[in-house]
């Protein structure tokens, strides 16, 4: 982060809301009515950092290669296997999809930061295998069940049903 950017960010905290909204429109390039000063400051910081990165990257990359190596054209020309490999690399987990349009879309979303990357952590319910059982009851039975679980002090009707089944089995 350059000194100019740092000074600009420090001066933002002293601005009133209307002044901050005006600076936001000036720096980001779009007007806002957001009353959240923290949000506005963060978005301004992100825009300034992106602008810095863009100016730092421009001298090293010739203009001809940026149009040829455009990610839009490049991804659509890849095979499904190549897209799946790139998905593993970018997103950080496997995919079973063989739909190239979906994989291209998902990769673009990940590159824009709109998709969570890395392995997905599932809730750990222990080592037991869980099954869901359908249960159909009449409205009158449900009303009686609701009265009973409240009267007996259970948190929910499901908690009461589990306790009753456990008592029957154990």
- For 94-163, the three-class secondary structure string (H helix, E strand, C coil) is CCCCCCHHHHHHHHHHHHCCCCCCCCCCCCCCCCCCCCCCCCCCCHHHHHHHHHHHHHHCCCCHHHHHHH
The half-sphere exposure of 105 on its side-chain side, counting CA atoms within 13 A, is 6
Confidence of residue 68 (pLDDT cuts 50, 70, 90): very low
Q: Which residues does 25 contact at the CB level (< 8 Å), separation at least 6? A: 31, 32
CA dist., res. 155 & res. 140, Å (int): 20
pLDDT at 153: 93
Rounded (10°) angle between helices 37-57 and 3-12 = 170
Confidence of residue 170 (pLDDT cuts 50, 70, 90): confident
pLDDT at 59: 54
How many CB atoms are closer than 10 A to CB 157? Answer: 15
The average confidence (pLDDT) of the chain is 82
């Amino acid at each position: 982060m350059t000194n100019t950017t740092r000074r600009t960010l420090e001066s933002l905290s002293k601005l009133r809301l209307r002044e901050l909204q005006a600076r936001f429109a000036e720096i980001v390039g779009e007007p806002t009515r957001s009353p959240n000063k923290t949000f506005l400051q963060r978005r301004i910081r992100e825009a300034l950092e992106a602008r810095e990165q863009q100016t730092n990257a421009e001298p090293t990359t010739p203009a001809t290669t940026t149009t040829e190596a455009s990610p839009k054209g490049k991804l659509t020309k890849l095979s499904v296997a190549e897209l799946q490999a790139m998905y593993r690399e970018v997103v950080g987990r496997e995919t079973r999809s063989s739909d190239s349009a979906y994989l291209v879309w998902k990769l673009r979303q990940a590159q824009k930061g709109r998709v969570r990357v890395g392995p997905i952590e599932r809730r750990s319910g222990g080592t037991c295998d869980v099954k869901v059982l359908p249960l159909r009851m009449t409205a009158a039975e449900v009303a009686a069940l609701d009265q009973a679980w409240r009267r007996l002090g259970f948190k929910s009707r499901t908690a009461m049903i589990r306790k009753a089944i456990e008592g029957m089995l154990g």
